[in-house]
Structure 1
């Protein structure tokens, strides 16, 4: 009986030992699993931090991209602005060159003078229309511009007075002649009331008047009249005109 009792006691002790060992093993396994489970959040944290870092890097890349785009835009704008400025400057320079390229009248030198027999060539010619008219032409032969003031003062042959001037023929402005240009005056040889009291003319003296229209200035021009010229006391001479046709409309 004691032998059986000891055997049971030993069996019970062995069973208890195995149970203890089993519990210890389970405890260690659960602890390791718990530790593993506790370690999992660290892995999530790392993943989260990595995600944050990735997002931060992405944001930084976006900011850098924006800065780069802004810089490129500024560079482009600066280049565009500079180019536009260069074009405007070129256009402005071109405009200035164009304006200075015009030199005006280069055929004459010096300030204008009064037209006289000394710096003009005076001719007289008979015209078909209007009838009983002559055309007086004064051409500037000098090197300076000249002004043909007022009307020419005419003296036929040995007449005591100068020929009448047609006051209604005053031009809008004084006739200015560059070298080579001409002024014109129409001569109506006689009026309707002259009748048969006409004079046969052979010579004509042309005097130039100053700006004041008082007396004469410079040398006169001595001309021969066309053959068969007759003039009367009621004839007239126009003011100097810049247009031949205008001079012959009176």
Structure 2
């Protein structure tokens, strides 16, 4: 009886060991079958990468770039004139660009206004009374300077008509071709202070830069009913008529 019990126990132990061995082998097979599904396997991410590459990056159409301006085309705002070009021209109705430069006034031929390059006229004015207006026009091809005041001689008088020093301008009047200068002539002083003469002719002499006088005058016919005396005056040359007649 004791021998049979030992055998039975030994057989049971042997069976238990076999069962445990089979269980261990079965567990290893299960781990092997599920290994491809593990997230750590590099092969498991390959399908996802293939699917991403097949998807377009964007369905919106690309905006075409603005074409570059042609060579030589002006840039900037359309309302801004091109550099170096005057929108209003050069003063005579002709537009010019930056490559055409007008001759500056300082570089133009320059001389003194004389009988040879000017035209002189004299008229009687209504205001102020007993006044004449002398007009000097540049008829030459360059600039001329009208120095000091005109030297006047009425009907061959021996003395020069008085010059009004208070009318001296701040600068010498310079005339471009076609421009004019003016001098006012006050014919008489206070009534009764000097003998009055009726004038017929007037000689106009030009002053040089140094203050001396040119020998050749311009001889003018005076307006009818012109009277003068020794207390009259003539102004310096002025750039505008209104100033010449304010004295």
Q: Same fold by TM-score, threshold 0.5 exceeded?
A: yes
1:161 Cα deviation after fit: 1.2
Q: Which structure has the larger Rg?
A: 1
Mapped contact 1:194–1:233 kept (Cα < 8 A): no
Aligned to 2:98: 100
What TM-score do the two structures reach when normalised by structure 1?
0.66
Aligned to 2:234: 237
Mapped contact 1:136–1:185 kept (Cα < 8 A): yes
* Match runs of 1:2-81 below 5 Å: 16=11, 20=15, 24=18, 26-34=20-28, 36-37=30-31, 44=38, 46-47=40-41
Mapped contact 1:138–1:184 kept (Cα < 8 A): yes
Aligned to 1:167: 165
Gaps of 5+ in 1: 1-8, 59-75, 77-85
Mapped contact 2:37–2:44 kept (Cα < 8 A): no
Mapped to 1, the partners of 2:44 and 2:134 lie a distance apart of 109
Gaps of 5+ in 2: 53-64, 66-73, 87-96
Query: How many aligned residue pairs are there?
Result: 206
Mapped contact 2:194–2:231 kept (Cα < 8 A): no
1:50 Cα deviation after fit: 6.3
Aligned to 1:119: 117
The question of 1:147 aligning with 2:145 is answered yes
Mapped contact 2:203–2:220 kept (Cα < 8 A): yes
- After superposition, the C-alpha distances for 1:43-86 in whole angstroms (9 at most, x for unaligned) are 646248967xx9xxx9xxxxxxxxxxxxxxxxx9xxxxxxxxx9
Residues 1:50 and 1:161: Cα distance change in structure 2 (over 3 Å) = farther
Q: Over aligned residue pairs, what C-alpha RMSD do you find?
A: 4.2
